[in-house]
Structure 1
């Protein structure tokens, strides 16, 4: 399954509930304001087994650099490829 996070205003408890359902066979994409989540909740995300990505254009729009080991920066083209590979998609 592909989980996409487009908001950054989740409480820690709410985000933990969402993350608890994610498995190693899933992928997580942070986009729009969701690219702030890896910076805000790095400890929670470090516990995930799933691959995590942040949309490069949204990082750039917020003047952020993703140098985290757990989260890889991706292009729009990469995002499309992920959406083709992982299904269904859950947009949060």
Structure 2
């Protein structure tokens, strides 16, 4: 399953239920304000067992490019790579 997060307003409990319920076969993509979530909830993101990506353009727009280099659980991706992920993972859930 592909989970996409576009907001940074999730409560800790709500976000934890989505993220920690994801398996190693799932994929998480952070975009728009969702790229702020690892900063807001680092303890949750440190416990992830699934792959997590953040859209490069949204990281750049929020001056967070350096952040992803120091946060091993989140990898920066381009729009082209995002399209590849949407082709690979089904179903998809936008949150």
What TM-score do the two structures reach when normalised by structure 2?
0.93
Name the CA distance, whole Å, in 2 between partners of 1:11 and 1:43.
Answer: 13
The answer as to 2:47 corresponding to 1:80 is no
**More helix per residue:** 2
User: Displaced runs of 4+ in structure 1, greater than 2 A?
Assistant: none
**Deviations, residues 17-72 of structure 1 (Å, cap 9, x unaligned):** 11132000000000000000011111101111110000000000111122210000
RMSD (Å) for aligned C-alpha atoms: 0.8
1:21 partner SS = coil
Query: What TM-score results when the alignment is normalised by the length of structure 1?
Result: 0.96
Distance 2:26 2:5 in 1: 14
Q: Could you tell me which runs of 5 or more consecutive residues in structure 2 were left unpaired when the two chains were aligned.
A: none
Distance 2:92 2:29 in 1: 10
